[in-house]
Amino acid sequence: MVLLLHHALWINLVICDKIYLQNLRGVEQMNRKKYFTLKKLGWLLLLFWLGFFLVKLQAPKGKLLDAPSLVASLREQGLQVKQIFNEADDYETSLFSEKAKHLLVNGFPVLVYEFKTKPQAVEEMKTVSKKGYQIGETMMGWVERPHFYQKGRLIVGYIGKIPIILDVLEKSLGNPLAK
């Protein structure tokens, strides 16, 4: 990152100044307005790259390889996460070929399905309709809008509209594939 910022600053300061000095020597006429316009464009380019890398640095680090790494990522971002077991209720756990891990995230249920391979998770995610109200042949009657995310070997389901939960899930897992 430092190298790219160095190059952007070099382009801004050295190239613009070199063009201006060449113009002073009579290679080509360039007025001050064009010089400062070029200089401003260089600064805008520098600010763009700086902003791009700052956003990249704020993204959660590490890959989400499994449910425990997802839980750790959610906790790192300030959410309270508690794993609960609800063995009597097999309704939600039968949506995919794997059983769900039931989490309470800031007091709201989140289902995490962990598959053996990424291709298996990708294939099973294809069975979820774009709005998330149908999974395979099963029509769902969710009480809130469903959000399904797929990253790596994980499929994560959150039924709700709490902004902080949606934001953190999106930062950790990317945009929901069903919403």
User: Do residue 151 and residue 74 come from a single domain?
Assistant: yes
CB 82 within 8 A of CB 74: no
| Count of alpha carbons within 13 angstroms of residue 80, beta-carbon side | 3
pTM over 0.75: no
Tell me the residue length of the chain: 179
Report if residue 123 sits inside a domain: yes
Identify whether residues 22 and 92 lie together within a single domain. no
> What total of structural domains would you count in the chain?
2
* 33 plus 107 within the same structural domain: no
Question: Are residues 119 and 157 part of one domain?
Answer: yes
Domain of 22 in residue numbering reads as 2-58
* Amino acid making up residue 16: C
Q: Are residues 48 and 84 in the same domain?
A: no
Tell me which residue of 44, 95, 104, 43 sits closest to 75, measured CA to CA.
Answer: 104
pLDDT of 158 reads: 94
**Whether residues 106 and 158 fall in one domain:** yes
pLDDT tens column, 34-63: 666 666 766 665 566 656 555 554 444 446
Same domain, 125 and 76: yes
Q: Is residue 178 part of a domain?
A: no
Q: Residue 111 has which token pair?
A: 């289902």
Residue 169 lies in a domain: yes
Residues 25 and 102 in one domain: no
Q: What is the pLDDT of residue 167?
A: 93
DSSP the chain: -HHHHHHHHHIIIIIHHHHHHHHHTTSS---HHHHHHHHHHHHHHHHHHHHHHHHHHHSPPS---SHHHHHHHHHHTT--EEEE--TT--TGGGSSSSPEEEEEETTEEEEEEE-SSHHHHHHHHTTB-TTSSEETTEE---SS-EEEEEETTEEEEEES--HHHHHHHHHHH-S-SB-
pLDDT less than 50: residues of the chain: 2, 26-28, 57-62, 88, 90-91
76 and 32 part of one domain = no
Measured between alpha carbons, how far apart are the two ends of the chain, in Å? 35
Phi, psi angles (nearest 5°) of residue 83 = -85, 130
Identify whether residues 99 and 27 lie together within a single domain.
no
